[in-house]
Amino acid sequence: MVNTPRSARHGALLLGTVAVLGLLTSCGDGTDVHSDPPVSAPGTAAPARETTKSPPPAAASSGTAAPAPSRATASPGGAATTAPPGTATAASRAGTPAAPGKRCHTGELRASVGRGDPGAGQENFPVVLTNTSARTCTLHGYPGAAFVSSSGAQLGPDPRRAPGSPTTVTLRPGQSAWAGLSFSNPGISEAKTATPAALLVTPPDEHDPLRAAWTGGQVPVSGNSSTVRLTVLSPGTGP
């Protein structure tokens, strides 16, 4: 057995340690080592990116509803204009046309009989209704009429309606409408006659009559050709 000096053994161990350290250093500097690229497994998605989006304007966190869309309306020139929600358009502000005046009541009228206009064996008189109220009112159709004596007794039957097309007559305060009253001349028809004191005139759709003085002489009350006729109301006081 050869005895190696202790100093020689220590030197050899030191050299071996240095050699190992050099080898490790050359392998770990990264200059000669190539790593493989990352491999994507088939069917897997790329990592999701988290982005932050602000909520849309219509979403309200307070729970209140989004404002209603404005309405588009057409201007007279054809261009569209936009009205804010809840704003009335010109058509809605204008509203519907005003309703015509209500009918004339008995207490708002005065009745009179105009001058007679005889012709061709007929006696013709305008029966006039005048608006004495402070408002505008209307008359439509035929009035009612009856001859009465001084005691109030009716003389003869009620007049019949002559053919005609009823129209609505609007009367402002002081204006009048008239209906024609006609009958055959008693001297020609040889009908029985009477001389009335008054003519009772009832406005259309009313129940209470108005009294108008009668100055037209005798009227037929029975017999041949004794029928008295009334026409529809027309604007004015006579033909």
User: What are the pLDDT digits (tens) for 61-110?
Assistant: 444 444 444 444 444 444 444 444 433 333 333 333 334 459 999 999 99
Confidence band, pLDDT 50/70/90 cuts, at residue 119:
confident
More reliable by pLDDT, 68 or 181? 181
Give the angle subtended at the CA of 126 by the CAs of 191 and 160, to the nearest 5°: 50
Edge-first strand listing for the sheet containing 198-202: 154-155, 144-148, 198-202, 210-213
The mean of the pLDDT values for the chain is 73
- Would you call 50 helix, strand, or coil by DSSP? coil
More reliable by pLDDT, 32 or 173? 173
pLDDT digits (tens, 9 = 90+) for 16-63: 544 444 444 444 444 444 444 444 444 444 444 444 444 444 434 444
Residue 229 has pLDDT above 70, yes or no: yes
The whole-angstrom separation of Cα 171 and Cα 177 is: 8
Confidence band, pLDDT 50/70/90 cuts, at residue 163:
very high
Residue extents of the structural domains in the chain? 106-235
Residue 78: its pLDDT value, please?
A: 42
Residue 230 has pLDDT above 80, yes or no: yes
Percent of the chain as helix, strand, coil, to the nearest 5: 15, 30, 55
Q: Mean pLDDT, to the nearest integer, of 116-124?
A: 90
CATH topology of domain 106-235: Immunoglobulin-like (2.60.40)
What is the end-to-end Cα distance of the chain in Å, rounded?
Answer: 171
The whole-angstrom separation of Cα 207 and Cα 162 is: 21
Q: Mean pLDDT, to the nearest integer, of 97-126?
A: 86
Residue 218: its pLDDT value, please?
A: 94
